[in-house]
Amino acid sequence: MQILKVEEADKQAVNDFLDRNENVSKVSLLSHGYVVEMNGRIDGCFVLEPMENHAFWLKQLYITQSEARKLPVLLEGILVIARKIEARCVYVHSHQPVVDILLEALQFKREEQIEVRKIDQHKKGNWWTYNVS
């Protein structure tokens, strides 16, 4: 598994991935996104959107169903990137119980209230934070 900033990835491979996955927002991916390459093919992506106070919002985390078993490794890779970019905190919104279990296992903390301007805390699902040290 290789994680690349979208601008470092092969443009045609990114376009092919976007064509295969219409639910992925091209605008978000191209502005703050990363792609996940496995066996020479892009099979996942995520967006680390910068926020205030060195916080980042992990948005649009997507991995193809055939590679879903690699999600824990991908999340750990995202946290490594967060450390490299000197993030203080990573926010995640989850609306799937399996993802909630995984986030808890990776020591994310469930939040009842989010105090960040860009985040709509009333979205269905759960908010999680990870304090990057």
The per-residue pLDDT for range 24-61, each reduced to its tens digit, is 999 999 999 999 999 889 999 999 999 888 999 999 89
With b for 16 or more beta-carbon neighbours within 10 A and e for fewer, the 33-55 pattern comes to bbbbbbeeebbbbbbbbebeeeb
Phi-psi label, residue 67: left if phi above 0, alpha if psi -120 to 50, beta otherwise: alpha
The per-residue pLDDT for range 65-92, each reduced to its tens digit, is 888 899 999 999 999 999 999 999 999 9
Q: Is 2-131 a CATH 3.50.50.60 domain?
A: no
* Domain positions in the chain: 2-131
Q: Would you tell me how many other CB atoms lie within 10 Å of the CB of residue 5?
A: 12
